[in-house]
Amino acid sequence: MTLPDFVVPTYIQMLGALSQWLSKAETQRADGSVDALLAARLTPDMFPLATQARFACRQAQEGVFRLLEQEFPPALETLLDEGRNAGERPGTLADAQARIVETIAVVESAAVTGIITEPTASIAHALPNGMILDLTAEQYARDWALPQFYFHVVTAYSIIRAQGIDLGKADYASHMFAHLRQNTPS
């Protein structure tokens, strides 16, 4: 199994779950207050839901591009800027859903057309504060790319749930129902 074979399905299934949570919020907030949900935060010093959704998309795309040894497209920087500025301009639920759809398409496309990185290949990952992490591709995927992605997805889930949207474990792990043995309790 290659690293993209491992991370791509993870990104796709959890971005799909995030999309479902946002749809559930839209249904439960039929009064039109769903867009206000995008400005909600867990704590004042954390980014809002709109940023968490965009950063989850950013992490998925960045992870795939790095693992496939591809240059980042300009749209990735745009996504990062949108996330950073979402506190002032959270956008709409439709904007968040569009970013998720775009990201799934980018991840699927990159995984089909990309160069597969060897697990032992070196990745120098520069952080915004100037620190550089020297990792193998396997370490990058396992210790950085997936944990960073899940941080933003779980934070988005937590914000949505904290705002009174009826979500539970089944919503978080809905992709697992495809593996449910027949004739067992659901």
Return the CATH number at 100: 1.20.120.450
Predicted pLDDT at 184 = 82
Per-residue b or e along 162-177, where b marks 16 or more CB atoms closer than 10 Å to that residue's CB: ebebebeeebbeeeee
Q: For residue 30, is it within any domain?
A: yes
Residue 71 lies in a domain: yes
Q: For residue 99, what are the domain limits?
A: 3-174
Maximum mean pLDDT: which of 25-29, 64-68, 153-157, 177-181: 153-157
Tally of domains in the chain: 1
> Does 184 fall in a domain?
no
Task: Work out the mean pLDDT of the chain and round it to a whole number.
Answer: 90
State the pLDDT confidence band at 186, using cuts at 50, 70 and 90.
Answer: low
| Residue 179, in any domain of the structure | no
Percent of the chain with pLDDT over 90: 65
* Reported pTM: 0.91
CA triplet 40, 44, 130: central angle to 5 degrees? 110
